[in-house]
Amino acid sequence: MTPEAARQLAATGVDAQFWSGLGDGAVRLPQCPECDRWVWPAQPSCPGCLHAELAWRDVEPVGVVYSWTRTWYPFVAVRAADLPYVVVLVELPAAGNVRVLGVYAGDSADELVVGEPVRGQILAPSDRTYGLPSLTWARGAPAG
Ligand SMILES: [Zn+2]
């Protein structure tokens, strides 16, 4: 995927409000206004009750590690210099335990533990992220 294609998809795809939310400094995820189900990855309608529209809500980026992997392969050329890096799948209790992917912001040699608390940070667009803002995760206690 070219950087232009990635930006076009982020601007027009079903998850466009996620990307515009990151641009606003917020993690914004869809929730069904009819049955309250959180829907991620984004879909055009609720997979639970088939309600036709979802409401996008800001969610505090605090969660727990569901899974993670250390990446040694340059899937995208712009990240080759970052190898190895850790990709983490984070479960968000404040959003119905949907799981959101992101790059781990700590040391790539860290051994994450399933269930440990992490906090999201939104990074400004860069060439390494095809000009899109990105959501990274760091170890941290949940907000009190
Ligand atoms: Zn629903």
Cα 48 to ligand 1 centre (Å): 5
Q: H helices within the chain, ranges in order? A: 3-12, 16-23
Q: State pLDDT tens for residues 84-110.
A: 999 999 999 999 999 999 999 999 999
- Calculate mean pLDDT across residues 41-52: 97
Which two structure tokens, joined as six digits, stand for 59? 């969610």
Which pTM does this prediction carry?
Answer: 0.91
Task: Write down the mean pLDDT value for the chain.
Answer: 93
Q: Kindly list the structural domains of the chain, giving each domain's residue range(s) and its CATH number in brackets, ordered by start.
A: 3-139 (2.40.50.840)
Confidence tier at 142 by pLDDT (50, 70, 90): low
Cα 52 to ligand 1 centre (Å): 9
pLDDT greater at residue 142 or residue 32: 32
CA distances from 135 to 49, 89, 122 (A): 29, 12, 5
Cα 95 to ligand 1 centre (Å): 14
CB 88 within 8 A of CB 65: yes
Q: State pLDDT tens for residues 30-44.
A: 999 999 999 999 999
For ligand 1, a single-atom ion, the residues with CB < 5 A are 32, 34-35, 37, 46, 48-49, 51
Cα 49 to ligand 1 centre (Å): 4
Query: Within its chain, how far is the Cα of 55 from the centroid?
Result: 17
Rounded distance between C-alpha atoms, residue 100 and residue 138, angstroms: 14
